[in-house]
C-alpha cells in the first residue's frame, strides 16, 4: 500500500538559525525545542538546516516542506508529533555560496552545530585544530568555498565583520567536553591562520556558549519509516524515533541575548554548564561506549539487549560507582545516584533499538573525553581503573577489525585504516596494545606511558583474547 507523503501544514517561519548537521539527533532535539519555543513565543526562529556532506536530509525534508515526524517511544507506545521548525535545507557541497549567504544574513542570529566529534577537525587527544586535516588545508586555500564547519564559520564571520553586521552566536551541541570552548578554539586557530585581525575580532565579539545535550536517538531505519506509515497513514522518510527523555543545559551567553525561548521545552539556561557536561559525557556516553565495544564483542546488537544481560547491567553500575562517579562533580539540582539509576532504565527501554555498532563508530574521537579523562583523574588520585581499562582494551579489539568468531567488523572511524594497520603490524597481543597506545591522536603520551594504565590495559586485552568479552565482564563484576 502506498501512503501520501507528509507535508507542511503551517507556513515556514523566517530563518533565524542556521544549523550545521541535520541528522537524526538534530531532528529529535534542537528542532523540537525550537518548535516548542516558537509555539509558546512565536518569533522568527525558523531553521535553515545545512548538510556539510550528503544530500540525504535535503532529499527527505524538502519534498515535505521541511516538516517531519518525531516519534517518542515511551511506555504507552509510540507518540508521533509533526515538527515544523525547519524552514529550509541546504547541501553545502552543492552550493557553499548559498550557505554562506544564509550565515551572513543579519536575520541569522544563531549558528548551531551537531556535526559530531570529527566535524571539529581537531586532534581528539589535545583539542587543537589539525591544520593538516585535508578539509582545513582546503578551506585555508579556498575560503569562498569551504567544506568544514570551521571554514564556514570563519568565512561567514569575516563577511559579517566587513558588512558591519553583529556576529551570530556559535552554539555547539556535540558530545564534547567544554564544547563551546572547543568550538571557539578551532575557530580562532583557523581564523589566526587566515588573518590575525579577524582572529582578534572573533575573540572579542563572538560568543560560543557551551551546552549539554541529551536524548537517545538511534539512526532511522526503513522499518521505522514503514512502521510510521502504518501508524499515521503517511510516508515520511525524514522521521526520527527517540526516547521520551530530553535534557538541554545551555550556558546563557548569546550575542545581544538573541535566542529562542528553548526553556519552553524544558531547556535550562544556566551560568555554567561544565558539571552537567561532565556528568552526562562520563556517566552516559562513557557507559554507552563500554556497552558498545564489550556488547558488540559479546554478540549483542543493541544497548537494550546488552543490558538485559544482568552482567552488563552490573558492569554499568560498577563502572559508575567505582570509576566514573568519583570523577564527576555534583551539578546543581542533580542527584547523581538517581541520575545513573535513570540511565539504566533508559538503556533498558526495549522499544529503542540503538545499535552497539552505531555507538562504536568514531571511537578514536570519543574515547578521550568519555573514558580516558576519567582514567587519568582516577590514576592521579591513586584509584585503580580495571573497568575503564577493560573498555579501552575492548575498543582495541574492536578496531583490530575481527570479532570473537573470526568475522570481520565494519569499523567506521576516521582513523580506521591507520588503527587497523597499527594493530596488524604488531606481532603479538601485548605488542598490539603498546602500538595502539602510541597513537597520539587518541592517547595523551603521559597517560600512554603510565605504568599502571599500560599494565591494566594489557592484562584486560589478553583476557579478551583468551576468554572473550562476556567472560571478561563477568570477571570484572565478580
Note the residues at the interface with ligand CS2 (CB under 6 A).
Answer: 175, 214-216, 284-285, 288, 358-359, 366
* Of 85 and 114, CB closest to ligand CS2: 114
Shortest Cβ 155–ligand CS2 spacing (Å): 29
**CB of residue 173 vs ligand CS2: minimum separation in angstroms?**
10
Closest approach, Cβ 150 to ligand CS2, in A, equals 22
Instruction: Identify which of residues 102 and 215 has a Cβ nearer to ligand CS2 in the complex.
Output: 215
Is residue 206 a contact partner of residue 188, using CB atoms and an 8 Å limit? Answer: no
Nearer to ligand CS2, 85 or 211 (CB): 211
Rounded Cα distance between 362 and 377, Å, is 23
In the complex, minimum distance from the CB of residue 12 to ligand CS2, in angstroms, rounded to a whole number: 28
- Rounded CA-CA distance 470/478 in Å is 12
* Element housing 4 (H / E): none
Can you tell me the distance from the alpha carbon of 187 to that of 230, in angstroms, rounded to the nearest whole number? 45
Q: Which of 251, 263, 279 is nearest to 342 (CA)?
A: 279
**Residue 86, beta-bridge partner list:** 47
Half-sphere exposure of 273 (CA within 13 A, CB side): 29
- In angstroms, what is the minimal distance from the CB of 53 to ligand CS2? 17
Q: What minimum distance in Å lies between the beta carbon of 346 and ligand CS2?
A: 9
Vertex 456, ends 450 and 460: CA angle to 5°? Answer: 145
Q: How far is the CB of 378 from ligand CS2 (least distance, A)?
A: 21
- For ligand CS2, the closer CB: 37 or 359: 359
Q: How far is the CB of 356 from ligand CS2 (least distance, A)?
A: 10
- Cell numbers for 47: 531553521
Minimum CB distance to ligand CS2, residue 43 (Å) = 26
In order of 172, 203, 243, 252, 264, the CA distances from 207 in angstroms are 11, 8, 31, 10, 22
In the bound state with ligand CS2, the residue whose beta carbon lies nearer, of 359 and 375, is: 359
- Which is closer to ligand CS2, CB of 84 or CB of 327? 327
- The residue (of 26 and 152) whose beta carbon lies closer to ligand CS2 is 26
In the complex, which residue's CB is closest to ligand CS2? Answer: 288
Give whichever of 57 and 359 is closer to ligand CS2, judged by the CB atom. 359
Residue 202 CA: distances (Å) to CA of 97, 109, 126, 140, 154: 21, 15, 22, 17, 9
CB of 242 to ligand CS2, least distance (A): 9
Q: What distance, in Å, lies between the first and last C-alpha atoms of the chain?
A: 53
The string of DSSP codes covering 225-283 is: HHHHHHHHSSB-TT-EEE-S--EEEEE---GGG----GGGGT-EEES--HHHHHHIIII
User: Do 104 and 163 meet the contact criterion of CB atoms below 8 Å apart?
Assistant: yes
Residues 325 and 318: their CA atoms lie apart, in Å, by 10
Long-range Cβ contact pairs of 134-139 (< 8 A, separation 24 or more): 136/190, 139/190
Nearer to ligand CS2, 175 or 423 (CB): 175
179 or 285: CB nearest ligand CS2: 285
Q: How far apart are CA 322 and CA 317, in angstroms?
A: 9
Amino acid at each position: 500500500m502506498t501512503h501520501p507523503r507528509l507535508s507542511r501544514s503551517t507556513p515556514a517561519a523566517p530563518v533565524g538559525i542556521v544549523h550545521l548537521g541535520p541528522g537524526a539527533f538534530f531532528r529529535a532535539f534542537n528542532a523540537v525545542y525550537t518548535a516548542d519555543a516558537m509555539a509558546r513565543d512565536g518569533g522568527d526562529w525558523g531553521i535553515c538546516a545545512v548538510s556539510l556532506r550528503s544530500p540525504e536530509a535535503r532529499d527527505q525534508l524538502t519534498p515535505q516542506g521541511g516538516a517531519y515526524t518525531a516519534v517518542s517511544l515511551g511506555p504507552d507506545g509510540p507518540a508521533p508529533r509533526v515538527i515544523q521548525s525547519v524552514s529550509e535545507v541546504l547541501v553545502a557541497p552543492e552550493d557553499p555560496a548559498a550557505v554562506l549567504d544564509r550565515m551572513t544574513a543579519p536575520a541569522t542570529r544563531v549558528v548551531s552545530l551537531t556535526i559530531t566529534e570529527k566535524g571539529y577537525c581537531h586532534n581528539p587527544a589535545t583539542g587543537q585544530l589539525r591544520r593538516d586535516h585535508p578539509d582545513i588545508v582546503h578551506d585555508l586555500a579556498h575560503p569562498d568555498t569551504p567544506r568544514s564547519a570551521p571554514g564556514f564559520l570563519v568565512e561567514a564571520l569575516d563577511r559579517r565583520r566587513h558588512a558591519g553586521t553583529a556576529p551570530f552566536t556559535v552554539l555547539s551541541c556535540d558530545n564534547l567536553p567544554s564544547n563551546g570552548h572547543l568550538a571557539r578554539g578551532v575557530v580562532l586557530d583557523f581564523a589566526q591562520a587566515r588573518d590575525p585581525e579577524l582572529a582578534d575580532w572573533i575573540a572579542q565579539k563572538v560568543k560560543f556558549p557551551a551546552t549539554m545535550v541529551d536524548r537517545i536517538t538511534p539512526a532511522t531505519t526503513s522499518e521505522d519509516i514503514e512502521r510510521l506509515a502504518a501508524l499515521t497513514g503517511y510516508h515520511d522518510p525524514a522521521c526520527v524515533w527517540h526516547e521520551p527523555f530530553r535534557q538541554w543545559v545551555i550556558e546563557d551567553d548569546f550575542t545581544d541575548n538573541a535566542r529562542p525561548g528553548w526553556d519552553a521545552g524544558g531547556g535550562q539556561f544556566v551560568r555554567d554548564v561544565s558539571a552537567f557536561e561532565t556528568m552526562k559525557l562520563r556517566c552516559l556516553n562513557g557507559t554507552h561506549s563500554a556497552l558498545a565495544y564489550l556488547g558488540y564483542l559479546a554478540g549483542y546488537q543493541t544497548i537494550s539487549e546488552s543490558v538485559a544481560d544482568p552482567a552488563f547491567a552490573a558492569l554499568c553500575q560498577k563502572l559508575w560507582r567505582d570509576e566514573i562517579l568519583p570523577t564527576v562533580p555534583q551539578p546543581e539540582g542533580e542527584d547523581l545516584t538517581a541520575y545513573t539509576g535513570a540511565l539504566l532504565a533508559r538503556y533498558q527501554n526495549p522499544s529503542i533499538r540503538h545499535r552497539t555498532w552505531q555507538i562504536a563508530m568514531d571511537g578514536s574521537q570519543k574515547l578521550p573525553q568519555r573514558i580516558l579523562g576519567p582514567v587519568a583523574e582516577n590514576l592521579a588520585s591513586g584509584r585503580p581503573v580495571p573497568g575503564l581499562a577493560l573498555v579501552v582494551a575492548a575498543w582495541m579489539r574492536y578496531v583490530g577489525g575481527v570479532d570473537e568468531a573470526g568475522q570481520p567488523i565494519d569499523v567506521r572511524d576516521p582513523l580506521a585504516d591507520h588503527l587497523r594497520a597499527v594493530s596488524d603490524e604488531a606481532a603479538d597481543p601485548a605488542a598490539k596494545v603498546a602500538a595502539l597506545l602510541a597513537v597520539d591522536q587518541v592517547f595523551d603520551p603521559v597517560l600512554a606511558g603510565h605504568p599502571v594504565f599500560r599494565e591494566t590495559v594489557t592484562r584486560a586485552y589478553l583476557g579478551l583474547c583468551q576468554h572473550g568479552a562476556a567472560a571478561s565482564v563477568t570477571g570484572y563484576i565478580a
